[in-house]
Every structure is written in C-alpha cells, then in structure tokens.
Chain A
Amino acid sequence: MNFVSDFKTRATAKAGDLRHRQVIRTALRGYEIVRDKRKAAFQSWESARQAAAETKWEAVNHLDTHLETLVAKLEARGTKVHWASTAAQAREIIAQILRDKKARSIIKSKAMTSEEIHLNHALEAEGFTVVESDLGEFIVQLRHEPPYHIVFPSMHLTRGEIKDLFQKELGDAPSDSPEELTMVARRVMRQKYITADVGFTGANFAIAETGMISITENEGNARLTAALPRTMVTLLGIEKVLPRFTDLALFLPMLATAGAGQPMTCYNTMYSGPRQPGEVDGPEEWHVVLLDNRRTELLADAEQRDALHCIRCGACLNVCPIFRNVGGHTYGTTYSGPVGAVITPHLRGLQEWKHLSNASSLCGACTEACPVKIDLHHHLLQNRRNAVSAQPAFFEKLAYRIFSIIANEPTFWALAKKIGWLTQPLQALVKGSSMDPAKAWTKTRDLPPMPQETFKDWWRNRK
C-alpha cells in the first residue's frame, strides 16, 4: 500500500468536495464561538495552560514511578492490571478475558486506544458481538467506517444521511430530527447495556496518587457501561497518568473547554476499583490493560516527548486548515490532524508516514490551540528534518548543490537569470502538464510574470 499517493488522492477529492466543506465548516464555526467564550471565562487561560503543561511534563518525565504507584493502588482494591507492549498483545489479553468469562456481547464506550489496536475487528473475528454505545461511534460503526474525528466521530454526516442509515440498519427512523434519531439510538442501546456480559471503556486520565481512572463523557454511556455488566475492561495508554487527584480540578475544565467549548463535560467519573464491599452495584471484576504500543519510542525522543502530554481534546484538529480541507478520513490514521501527523510517524514508521508532516501550512494554529502547549508545528518540522536525514532525497540534494554553485558565482547567476527570462514564456505552454518540471507547484498556481528589467539593470541605467 502506498500511503502517500492514497493520501494525495483522498486529499484532492475531499478538498474539492463542496458539500464536505459546508458540513465541516458549519460544525466547527459553532465550536470556535463557544470555545472562545469559555476560554474568556477563565481568569487566566494562559496560566492554566502553562500549569497543565508542567503537570503533564512532571507526569511523563517520571512515568515509571507514577505507573508503579498507580498499579499498586489499583491492585490493592482488587483490580486486575495487565501490561501490553504491542497492539497484538493487548488484543489477546482482552480476548482472553472475554473467553474466560464466556462472554458473548460487549458494550463499549468511546476509546481511541481501541481504534488504535483495531479491537472491534479482532473481537468480531472471534465471534463476539461488539456494540459501540457513544452515539457518534455507533453511527460510524453502522457505516463500517472509522471515526472521522477523535472527539466528534460522525461530524462528517448530515442528519439526512443518519436517518437513511438508521432506516436501513435498524428499520427505525421516524424523521431526520436529531432529537428523534438520538432517541432511536437510546432505545436500541438500553437493552444492550442490560444484556451485555462485558463493559469496555477507554480512559482520559489515570491518577497515580489515588489509583483511579477518570473517564470524561457527555452522554452517560460510559457511566452505564461501567455500572451494569458484570465484568469491566479498561484500555489505557501508559501516557495518561497524572500525579495527583487534585490535578483533575484543572484538567477536567480545560479538557471540556478546549475539546468542545463546555465549562465541564457532563459526566467526569473516577473509578478506583470493581464493586467494593458494601456497594450495591458495579462490576465484580475490573481489568485495566496498560498499552505501550510504541509510546516508549516517542518517550525516547526527548525533543518530541511532550507529544505524550496530549489529552486527546481534538482542539488542534478543529483549528487546522489542513484538517478542515482534507477531512479526518483522508489521513488514514487513528489520530488525525496535527497531533496525528506528529505522533503517527513514531507509532507506525517515519518513512511511511512522513508525508503527514508535510501536509501542513506551519501556521501554528495547532500549537496556539493546544491546552497542554505541545509544540506541534515545530514537531512537524522536526519530523521532516528527521525523515530527510534518515533517507536523503537524491534529486533534492543535487538540485541544491547546483543552485549553490550558480548562486555563488555572479557570472553563472547573471546567465541563469537571462536563461530564465528567455525560457519562462515557454513554461506557459506546458504549465501544469506532465512536461512541466515544476508541475506540483504550478498546476494550482500562476508564476508571477518576469519583470522587463532586473533590479541590477535598473540601478545601472538609472539617470
């Protein structure tokens, strides 16, 4: 598979798709307005960002001790902790839990880590029934496609498309009103919660100090997933750790503000164990699976280590001019947008995924938007640099070698200018065609016309 040409093909198609642009623009315009309003409500959003960045720095740069504390605390309350170096190991650990429990149906709340390890596919291949309970995830699951956006999975669909989908797949779509469509999903899901054998969740934060997993959601689906089935499984990226319980007082409102322009997400829930003695409900067993999946490789790159500070709020996607034009599916990755372009080369191979770091205007809007101050646009530059130094491009090197010879020698330079002046009209004949040597640039742009007189000539001839 050629990831670069696939990306270019999809990007070209999406950038010219006016309907897609309209849908995304409508969705994100509203986001920016409410987010700015919530940011303005902070007494100092910038101080909060700096403190959040420093807290994450502290967590990630002492990851080993925080993980050990977290695990010891979790285990002390009867939680079973598993460690997975690879996606395959994580899938096998989870499948084995399901086999041991003789489970058939799994209800899932939203988890990007599960997308990352392609969990649904693996479980369905073994005959388990997996149902996504987050409305957006449920919609894209019915369409057999990955989430479009890490926070808003079905952002690319109109209510009409969702109505048709529900009619086709569920045989129930009274109208295209978002209210009624949501109620269809609510009715379908209710019985699934009650009958599911296992509830599966992701995690937004893990608190080392108290041994807790914190889950942020608006719908209540994760609450129900963690309340009703007899077994609960949580898949947690190892970088999600925060040192202290009280750190959440800062991170929860920041995640809500940056992610969706809310003062607080509707449900922020901290779990510290399976059902404890004296409690009336909750799972009898809770398994927490810690996932590395090459996060330690990113950790080893001190220059880009702060990319592990990411709290997956999606703010950088929302403001990115590239994301807004090419859309989430074009990336072909679990994590899209600027943060996806930064981390995917680390998680899945630099040479195969370096093109994502080139699909950027380097405007820095992502870095500005990031609530934990990840230096995203510089990391895109570093990826480009690293990709080239690991695998230099022969023709590019040659071109610069020749350029430096010409530019260093006034006679050559004057000659080159003359040649350029004489031959540019010829370029117009082949502009944008396959014979044009500068095709990639000129097919969508016009070269400015050559001036009749160079500056040097003008200077010499002036009266």
Chain B
Amino acid sequence: MSEREKILGRIREALQVHAPLPGSHGTTPVRSIAEPPASHARAWLPAVGASVEEQFALFARNAADLKADFQLLANREALPAVLRSLAQAEQWRRVASHGGALTDFACAALGLPMLLTDRGYEVQAMEQCDVGITECDVLVAQTGGVAVTSRSAGGRALSVLPPHHVVLARREQLVPDLPAAFARLQQLYAPDFPSMISFITGPSRTGDIERILVLGAHGPKKLTILCV
C-alpha cells in the first residue's frame, strides 16, 4: 500500500468518530451548515464606504498607513510626467517592466534603458534595475493593497526583486473588500489561474529586530501605486 493510501486510510478511520461543531460545547450542533460559513465575511470584515469616492479615500488612507505612495491621477496622459519626476528624484538608470497597455505607454515616455520580462530575462540584470513597473489586477479599498499575478505583472520576480515597485492601475480595478477581490480574480481567471497570485499590501517589511518596523526586508523598499 502506498503512503497516500495509508494516510488517507488513517484519516478515514479517524473520522469515523464525529467531532462536534465548534461552539456547540459537546451538545447537538446548534445548526447545520447549509452554505459556506465564510460567505457572509463582508458583513464582519472592516467596513468600507458605500460610494466609489469613499472607497478611494479609504484606499488612500490605508495605503498611507502602510507607507505606500498612492496617487489618483486625472487620466492616463498624466502618467509620464509623474514617472519622469520619480525617475529624476531617484535617479533611475535602468527600468524593468513588461508589455501591457499602461506599461507600454508609460515606459515609452521615460526614455531609459528597459528590461522587459516578456521573452525571459537575466536575473542578475533585473537585480541591477532601480525600479520594477507592473500592472495589476485588483486594488482593495479595505486593505490598501493590490493583487498581481504572474500573467498580468510580468512574472513572479518583477514585483519583488527591484528596490522600488511601481504599480500602474486603472480606476475600474478598485474593489471594495477582500471577498470582492477574490470574486474578481475568479471572474478574471477561473479555472485557468496564473501559477502565482499575490496580494501585495504595502512595501516589504520586517519587525524581526526588537519588533521595530523596517521597510525593504527582501522585497521593495518603496511601493508606488499610480491609478488612472
């Protein structure tokens, strides 16, 4: 018998004895589960505003708490100027990005040497880049974070290897809360999900030394989210 069969056998034998539902204190379960217990999560998670304006305001507050830089721009045409001023302030020399409607448009205006991940890349070369510019799939008002995938954001490494991650997002990518974010991802990809989906909530951080917050533990020290 394979280990698989042995383990599954032990599980089935163990489950012959019924365990009470949590919270029923050994008596008959107080109710049966007719629907997934977490399906009402929206009503319990932190509140988000009803209107899109309130949700953008919440996103901005949460992003600021996380020490991420969030800017809501008037339109797509405002992107190049913002990126150019970032490039100047941080003296970018090399930029890593990937092909995409927003990234192509914004990066073309930068006029800097580009590393595009679309046809494969050298890890050492990406490590030398000052910034990784990616698109994303979802902005979550509830958390102030974004979700990227290996398909929509130039692979797995682009959003974590360079010291500055710039996310280019569109207004319609904002969702109110986490249940809506997961629903959006399912709607976008199910059943053929990208091999990596990552919720990025603020720049990389650690508190492993005396619980003092330090940004840029292994991933980016800075996270900029530009929404058009």
Contact = CB atoms under 8 A, between A and B. Distances in A.
A, B: real partners: yes
Contacts of A54: 21-23, 33, 37
B14 A159 contact: no
A190 B128 CA distance: 11
B218 A224 contact: yes
B219 interface: yes
Contacts of A139: 208-209
Interface stretch (A6-14, A113-121, A271-279, A331-339): A271-279
Interface in B171-226: 177-179, 181-183, 185-186, 190-191, 193-212, 214, 216-220
A197 interface: no
A269 B179 CA distance: 16
B11 interface: yes
Interface string A105-142: 00000000000000000000000000001111001000
A77 interface: yes
Contact of A263 (B62, B117, B151, B195): B62
A358 interface: no
Interface residues of A, number: 111
A85 B209 contact: no
Contacts of B45: 42-43, 48, 249-250, 253
B201 A249 contact: no
Nearest to A256: B201
Contacts of B37: 50-52, 54-55, 58
Nearest to B213: A178
Interface stretch (A237-245, A405-413, A446-454): A237-245
Interface string B1-35: 01110111011111101110111000000000100
B103 interface: no
Contacts of A266: 200-205, 219
Given A27-B210, A223-B219, A243-B36, A53 B23 contact: yes
Interface stretch (A60-68, A322-330, A420-428, A436-444): A60-68
Contacts of B203: 266
A114 B41 CA distance: 32
B39 to A, nearest CB: 8
B17 A227 contact: no
A249 B182 CA distance: 7
A455 to B, nearest CB: 37
Contacts of B217: 135, 182, 185-186, 218-221
B176 to A, nearest CB: 12
A354 interface: no
Contacts, number: 311
A381 interface: no
Contact of A158 (B19, B38, B65, B210): B210
A26 B210 contact: yes
Nearest to A77: B195
A153 B209 CA distance: 10
B124 interface: yes
Q: Which of B123, B144, B160, B218 has the most CB of A within 10 A?
A: B218
A159 B202 CA distance: 25
Interface of B: 2-4, 6-8, 10-15, 17-19, 21-23, 33, 36-41, 43-47, 62, 65, 98, 117-121, 123-124, 127, 142-145, 150-151, 154-157, 159-161, 177-179, 181-183, 185-186, 190-191, 193-212, 214, 216-220
26 contacts: A27-B210, A43-B43, A50-B22, A55-B38, A56-B22, A67-B11, A152-B211, A153-B208, A154-B208, A186-B216, A190-B127, A218-B206, A220-B217, A221-B217, A224-B161, A224-B218, A226-B196, A246-B182, A248-B178, A249-B179, A249-B181, A266-B202, A272-B193, A276-B150, A280-B119, A290-B7
Given A51-B44, A220-B220, A252-B199, 14 more contacts: A30-B211, A51-B41, A63-B11, A85-B6, A135-B206, A212-B193, A223-B218, A224-B157, A227-B160, A227-B161, A249-B38, A249-B45, A253-B143, A273-B195
